[in-house]
Amino acid sequence: MNEQLTEDGRLKHLLTLDGLPARILTQILDTAESFLTVGDKEVKKVPLLRGKAIFNVFFENSTRTRTTFEIAAKRLSADVVNLNIGTSSQSKGETLLDTVANLSAMQADMFVVRHSAAGAAHLIARHVAPHIRVVNAGDGRAAHPTQGLLDMFTLRRFKGGFHTLRVAVVGDVLHSRVARSQIHALTTLGCPEVRVVAPKTLLPRDVESMGVHVFHKMEEGLRDVDAVLMLRLQNERMQGARLPSAGEYYKRWGLTPEKLKFAKPDAIVLHPGPMNRGVEIDSAVADGVQAVILPQVTFGIAVRMAVMSMLAGGQ
Amino acid sequence: MNLPTPEQLIDRLVEQLAPVLGPESPPNLALVGMHTGGVWVMEALVQRLGLQAVPSGVIDTSFYRDDYAQRGLHGDVKPSRIPFEVEGRDILLIDDVLNTGRSVRAAINLLFDYGRPASIRLAVLVDRGGRELPLCVDFTGIRLDQPQVSRIDLLRDETGRLTLEATEKP
Interface test with B, best of A10, A27, A40 (most B CBs within 10 A): A40
Contact (CB, 8 A) for A220 and A168: no
CATH code of residue A115:
3.40.50.1370
- Residues A37, B81: C-beta atoms closer than 8 Å: yes
Judged by a CB distance cut-off of 8 A, whether residue B114 touches chain A is yes
Q: What distance in Å separates the CA atoms of residue A36 and residue A305, rounded to the nearest whole number?
A: 9
Q: Which CATH class is domain B6-71+81-168?
A: alpha beta
Look up residue B78 and give its DSSP letter: P
Interface check for B81 against chain A (CB to CB < 8 A): the answer is: yes
Q: CB count, 10 Å around CB of B163?
A: 13
Contact B55, B31 (CB under 8 A): yes
Residue A49 lies in a domain: yes
Across A198-235, b (16+ Cβ under 10 Å) vs e yields bbeebbbeebeebebeebeebeebbeebbbbbbbbbbe
* Strand A110-115 with A133-139, pairing: parallel
Please name the residue ranges forming H helices in chain B: 6-21, 37-49, 68-71, 102-112
Q: What is the pLDDT of residue A42?
A: 92
In a domain, residue A184? The reply is: yes
Q: pLDDT tens for residues B52-62?
A: 999 999 999 99
pLDDT above 90 for A92: no
For A152, A228, A284, B124, B134, the CA distances from B105, given in Å and listed in that order, are 35, 46, 51, 14, 10
Partners of A113 in beta bridges: A57, A136
- Hey, where are the domains in chain B? 6-71+81-168
Mutate to test the interface with A, among B73, B74, B80, B87 (most CBs of A within 10 A): B73
* Predicted pLDDT at A238: 59
Taking CB atoms and an 8 Å cutoff, what residues of chain B touch A45? Answer: 113
Question: Taking the mean position of all CA atoms in its chain, how far away is CA A175?
Answer: 14
Q: Indicate if A185 and A195 belong to the same structural domain.
A: yes
- Model confidence at A125, in pLDDT bands (50, 70, 90)? very high
> Taking an 8 Å Cβ-Cβ cutoff, which residues of chain A contact chain B?
10, 27, 30-31, 33-38, 40-43, 45-48, 309-310, 313-315
Is A119 among the domain residues? Answer: yes
pLDDT, position A261: 98
Residue A12 lies in a domain: no
Indicate if A130 and A164 belong to the same structural domain: no
Average pLDDT over residues A128-144: 95
C-beta atoms of B79 and A310 within 8 A: no
Residue B80 forms contact with A (CB below 8 Å):
yes
Which domain does A238 fall in, by range?
Answer: 145-296
In a domain, A267, yes or no: yes
Q: Count the Cβ atoms, other than its own, within 10 Å of residue B38.
A: 27
CA distance B107 to B63: 10
Give chain A's mean pLDDT: 93
pLDDT: is A1 or A100 the higher one?
A100
Domain contains A52: yes
The distance of A190 to chain B (nearest Cα, Å) reads 21
pLDDT at A65: 92
Considering the domain architecture, whether residues A109 and A188 belong to the same structural domain is answered as no
Distance from B55 to chain A by nearest Cα, in Å?
Answer: 17
All residue ranges of chain B with pLDDT < 70 are 1, 22-25
Q: CB–CB of A120/A131 below 8 Å?
A: no
Q: What is the structure's pLDDT at A2?
A: 80
The answer to whether the CB atoms of B114 and A314 lie below 8 A apart is no
Report how far residue A202's alpha carbon sits from residue B32's, in angstroms, rounded to the nearest whole number.
Answer: 54
A42 and A177 inside one domain: no
Indicate if A134 and A69 belong to the same structural domain.
Answer: yes
Distance CA A140, CA A150 (A): 19
- Report residue A39 CA to chain centroid gap: 22
**Residue A241, pLDDT score:** 56
Which residues, in sequence order, are bridge partners of residue A55? A81, A111
Burial per residue of A154-177, b for 16 or more beta-carbon CB atoms within 10 angstroms, e otherwise: bbbbbbeebeebbbbbbbbbbbbb
Residues A173 and A132 in one domain: no
Same domain, yes or no: A138 and A179: no
pLDDT digits (tens, 9 = 90+) for A181-235: 999 999 999 999 999 999 998 999 889 999 999 999 999 999 999 999 999 987 7
Instruction: Flag whether residue B5 sits within 8 Å of chain A, measured between CB atoms.
Output: no
The reply to whether A108 and A212 lie within a common domain is: no
Q: Are residues A277 and A304 in the same domain?
A: no
Count of domains for chain A: 2
pLDDT of residue A247: 85
Q: DSSP E strands: which ranges in chain A?
A: 53-58, 79-84, 110-115, 133-139, 166-170, 193-197, 213-215, 227-230, 268-270
How far apart CA A254 and CA A170 sit, in angstroms, is 9
Report yes or no on A14 lying in a domain.
no
Q: What is the DSSP string of A95-164?
A: -HHHHHHHHHHTT-SEEEEEESSTTHHHHHHHHS-TT-EEEEEEETTTB-HHHHHHHHHHHHHHHS-STT
**% chain A with pLDDT above 70:** 95
Helix then strand then coil, in percent of chain B rounded to 5, is 30, 30, 45
Closest-CA residue to A9 (of A146, A312, A152, A20) = A20
Q: Please, which residues bridge with residue A193 across strands?
A: A166
Q: What is the structure's pLDDT at B23?
A: 61
Q: Which of B12, B47, B26, B27 is nearest to B123 (CA)?
A: B12
pLDDT at B76: 86
